[in-house]
Chain A
Amino acid sequence: MLQVKDVTLSFGGLVAVNHVSMEVRDGSITGLIGPNGAGKTTFFNIASGVYTPDSGEIIFDGKNITGKRCFQINEAGISRTYQVINLFKKMTVLENVLVGMHSRIKSKFFASLLHLPSQRAEEKELRKKAMKLLEFVGLEKQANDEAGSLSYGQQRLLEIVRGMASDPKLLLLDEPAAGMNSRENDELMVLLKKIAAMGISILIIEHDMNLMMNLCDYIYVLNYGKLLAEGKPAQIQQNPDVIAAYLGGE
């Protein structure tokens, strides 16, 4: 599905991502962990088109998407959520999801201006689909509330459904559990497993080890921009390098 080959990106003298290669397999949940400042989010920003890598290639679904812009990558089928909540706060919950569908909308400018029958029919379909997505995460009652008025956990959920709205093949989740309590955490895990079961592959960054070990099929560990280890959760837990990186020591 997603293949990242030997990607490097530096900011001035700092090499944020240093010759990293990794792969996300079809229908899998792949984890990305590492201490703070290891380059995880930078790596996400490369994969989603915010940054263009200095060298290396990113292949998605057999196509080279290196250097493509964010909206083009979204069109190609990779969607994402953000570490800091990045909702459209003054828009309603439903509208947030509708914006998420943007790259799948067929109506063009003049059809929208004139509200042609084809546009109206499409809009109706979109709204139906958006409501279904909201029901999927249990936000249907809040559909017409402002996104900014939702609770923190609900905003996180809305970020996820907004990401799912473009029917992506791959969803990048940047710390979706940040700030959630343990009950919300459990619900999130069930939800992510459901999403994966729907055939959407997931690449997830998270600090909650318990969640990651139970959720992921495969885990990559980054440290100081370099790939430190990779493997199944059980292997990662035993890896002396990973333990050293997390607990300190030489």
Chain B
Amino acid sequence: MKRTQKNLKRPLLALLAVLLLSVPLIFSGFPYAILICCFILLYVIAVSGLDIVFGYCGQISMGHAAFFAIGAYGSCLLHDYCGIPIMLTMVIAAVLAASVGAVIAYPASKLVFHFLSLATLSFGEIVYQIISHSPGGITNNFVGYYTESINFFGLTLDTYPRFYYYALGCAVLFLTAKQMLVNSQVGRAFIAIRENHHAADGMGVNVRKYKVIAFAVSAFYTAFAGAMYAHLVRYISPDTFMQKQSVMFLTMLLFGGTASLAGPICGVTVVMLLNELLRSAERYQMFIYGILLLAVIVLIPGGIYGTVEKAIKNVFRRKKEATKDAAG
């Protein structure tokens, strides 16, 4: 059984790689579709970040739009005011967001559930207020801020296909790092905290330290995605970083399924495509998100990927039992 699974895995992965690499060719006459794929990739990074703190470590965050904003504004401002190349400012902004995340998480690590969601909610609101009423108007407040494309070692990523390949590279890098992290003792400590933080503490896990690490790593991911967003669209305004963005990250994550590699990917893809289909009904967007979120929580608590995974496992188990029965 295992062998057939393994034999299937390689060609499937190769097929997926070819498919992903040829997206700009498939949609060569339809740049808007490539743009949507770029968004999907950067949201996958952002939502995977949220998954680290929420899915694995079990700490809810209602304020991840704040990290998205720190990444976006941080990268743009650092580039314009300090003249640092964008490739670097994206990383610096993400490190900055990680530090902010750690500072927030240190006191917040004492809070659980609804208190933590309130604290993170207000953190999101604080950052929103700062970027929309910035000191000296450095963020241009509600007018919005114009910025440039990424200069990738001399190549300007100013077309959608170019940005797409860059984003694909970043997504692969970030998702690989996420898998490596969660499959180490750090990831085990995260899950242990989610499952039972008293027992984790008793077993030698420094709960506060690991909650801080989870928040910091998560902030790094989401902030980097925010910087990608800024340099893809080349224009950012506080509208993008309102509370509803945080809710959208959570919707995407819960929709796809938490604590997995594929969950955020499924969730982001489905929600983004729905988003496009519902363009004409933009006014009802939040309403529809709300209903979707409710439906997922009530009907498929494991999210799309979680449910599919379970179904596949059940099929395999039944097959195994059937062969066993036949043999016996």
Give residues in A with beta carbon < 8 Å to B: 48, 50, 69-71, 74-75, 79-80, 82, 86-91, 95, 98-100, 102-105, 107, 109, 112-115, 119, 123, 162-163, 165-166
Contact = CB atoms under 8 A, between A and B. Distances in A.
Given A89-B195, A91-B191, 5 more contacts: A74-B203, A88-B192, A88-B200, A91-B192, A102-B188
30 contacts: A48-B202, A69-B201, A70-B202, A71-B202, A71-B203, A71-B206, A74-B203, A79-B204, A80-B202, A82-B199, A87-B199, A88-B191, A88-B196, A89-B195, A89-B196, A90-B191, A90-B195, A91-B192, A98-B185, A98-B188, A99-B189, A99-B200, A99-B203, A102-B185, A102-B188, A112-B181, A112-B185, A113-B181, A115-B184, A165-B203
Contact of A87 (B177, B196, B204): B196
A106 to B, nearest CB: 10
A79 B196 CA distance: 16
B188 A95 contact: yes
Contacts of A103: 203-205
Nearest to A115: B180
A112 B184 contact: yes
A96 B264 CA distance: 26
Main secondary structure of the interface of B (DSSP, over half): helix
Contacts of B206: 69, 71
Contacts of A79: 202-204
B198 interface: yes
B214 to A, nearest CB: 11
A87 B191 CA distance: 12
Contacts of B94: none
Contacts of B213: 109
B270 interface: no
Contact of B204 (A71, A89, A91, A114): A71
B207 interface: yes
Given A86-B196, A87-B199, A88-B196, A71 B185 contact: no
A104 B186 CA distance: 13
3 smallest CB-CB distances across A and B, nearest first, come from A103-B204, A112-B184, A74-B204
Contacts, number: 97
B203 A100 contact: yes
B188 A71 contact: no
A163 B181 CA distance: 24
B186 A88 contact: no
The residue among A71, A75, A95, A165 with the most chain B CB atoms within 10 A of its own CB is A71
A102 B205 contact: yes
Contact of B207 (A71, A82, A112): A71
Interface in B168-191: 177, 180-181, 183-189, 191
A166 B187 CA distance: 18
A119 B213 CA distance: 18
B191 A112 contact: no
A105 to B, nearest CB: 5
A58 B21 CA distance: 63
Contact of B198 (A86, A99, A100, A102): A86
Contact of A166 (B180, B184, B196, B204): B204
A43 B169 CA distance: 55
